[in-house]
Amino acid sequence: MKKQLMIILSLCLGLTMAGCRGASDDPIDDGGTVTGEVLLRATTKIIRADGVDATVFSVLVTDSQGVMHDVTSEAEIYYEGNDTPLAEPQFASSEEGTYVFYAVHGFSTSTNDITVRVANGIGELPEDAEPNNTDFRHRIMLLQHTGTGCYACPMMMTTLDNLSKDEAYSGLYNHVASHSYSTKEEGDKAYSTDARQLSLELNPGRTYPTLGFNLALEFADELNAIKAKIDLLSQNVADVGIRTNVTLNNGVIYVNTGVKARVSGQYRVAVWALEDSIYSAQTNASSQWQNTHNNCVRKTVGDSKNECIYGATIGALKAGDSAEYVAAIDVESDWVTDNMEVIVIVTADNGQGVFDLVNCVVCPVGESLNYEYNQ
């Protein structure tokens, strides 16, 4: 229990967790003793239950001028249920479970708690056979805003089916379906609240059907227009490469991802869980296959809307540098994990405070994917 002089903070533990190892985006002044709002940070929120893999904490204080100071050496870090502070600002364990950490600096307690998951079943990343290569294969994302109650949506389904059969285009993109037009209670078994959040953010006009490109508010619905947009976006090089290992252990999907930069920049990683072969009757279906829905968004990982959509920060990477990110997704009762995959999305700061999608990969649950290099 936290000491009585501290404010007891409430904890809301969600069903998705993520951890990333990388630098902070925020400027930090580490000089002097200061007072102000206390913030606890961790290099990752998911570690292996081997007693070796560790998360490293830092404690920051924002003063009255808005300057952030690193006060880790002056602070004490506790986890709930233990009245003894950590001897060092890091934590490792061989015991599976979740541990809730908070920091104390002077008479102030951190305004946030950090929940660290200690887990077995996190897969190892495939070995990079070409560590000096940064000429990565590039794929864009097509985000379909749809729903089984949408009368016109079968037309877009037919368009996308025709696109997938064109070998000149099928390898240039990854397709994601955001079922958000009608709810599960209204009969759409592919609907999810996370898909609705995606569409509210990325289809603000609530136009159905429509197809978005990457994470931009740019749309098309006719086959030639879609191909023209793919042609344009495919001219961009891949700023990063992505490798990942997706495992299932005790009802949790673990996504271990490595990112290697071709271009120096500030990067984020987003992970979305997708499901195929969901049968749900489609209004105005022109063919039976349109009642079976694939690449449907089930869960987006993150502690905030922006993190769920644009990703958790892995910080600044120089060309040739790499970073690791781990996500955990608790499987829900109506998911069929044999039909599931994840899409891993990497975004980069475009210099105007907006994070643009720069590459993405799809990997089925139970499989791994190495960096894909251009031949």
Question: What is the C-alpha to C-alpha distance for residues 25 and 171, in angstroms, rounded to an integer?
Answer: 34
C-beta separation of 155 from 130 below 8 A: no
Q: What is the pLDDT at residue 4?
A: 35
Provide the pLDDT for residue 33. 60
Residue 352 pLDDT class (50, 70, 90 cuts):
confident
* pLDDT tens per residue, range 161-176: 999 999 999 999 999 9
Question: 364 and 221 in one domain?
Answer: yes
pLDDT over threshold 90, residue 359: yes
- The 10s digit of each residue's pLDDT in 24-49 is 444 444 444 677 899 999 999 999 99
pLDDT band for position 65 (cuts 50, 70, 90): confident
pLDDT digits 0-9 by tens, 296-330? 999 999 989 999 999 999 999 999 999 999 999 99
Q: Is 33 helix (H, G, I), strand (E, B) or coil?
A: coil
314 token code pair:
């892995």
Report whether 324 contacts 256 (CB < 8 A). Answer: yes
The average pLDDT across 110-114 equals 95
Give me the pLDDT at residue 375, please.
Answer: 85
The verdict on residue 269 lying in a domain is yes
CB 331 within 8 A of CB 270: no
What's the number of domains the chain is made of? 2
**With 90 as the cut, is the pLDDT of residue 69 above it?**
yes
- 8 A C-beta contact, residue 244 and residue 257: yes
Structural domain that includes position 34 = 16-119
Query: Could you identify the residue written with the tokens 């490595």?
Result: 258
Q: Would residue 133 count as lying in a domain?
A: no
Could you tell me the pTM of the whole model?
0.88
- 170 and 292: one domain? yes
Same domain, 87 and 148: no
> Residue 117: which pLDDT band, with cuts at 50, 70 and 90?
very high
d(CA 58, CA 55): 10
**DSSP H or E segment with residue 163:** helix 153-164
User: Residue 201 is part of a domain; what is its CATH number?
Assistant: 2.60.40.10
Same-domain status, 44 and 89: yes
Phi, psi of 348 (to 5 degrees): -135, 145
pLDDT of residue 353: 81
Q: Would you say residue 212 lies in a domain?
A: yes
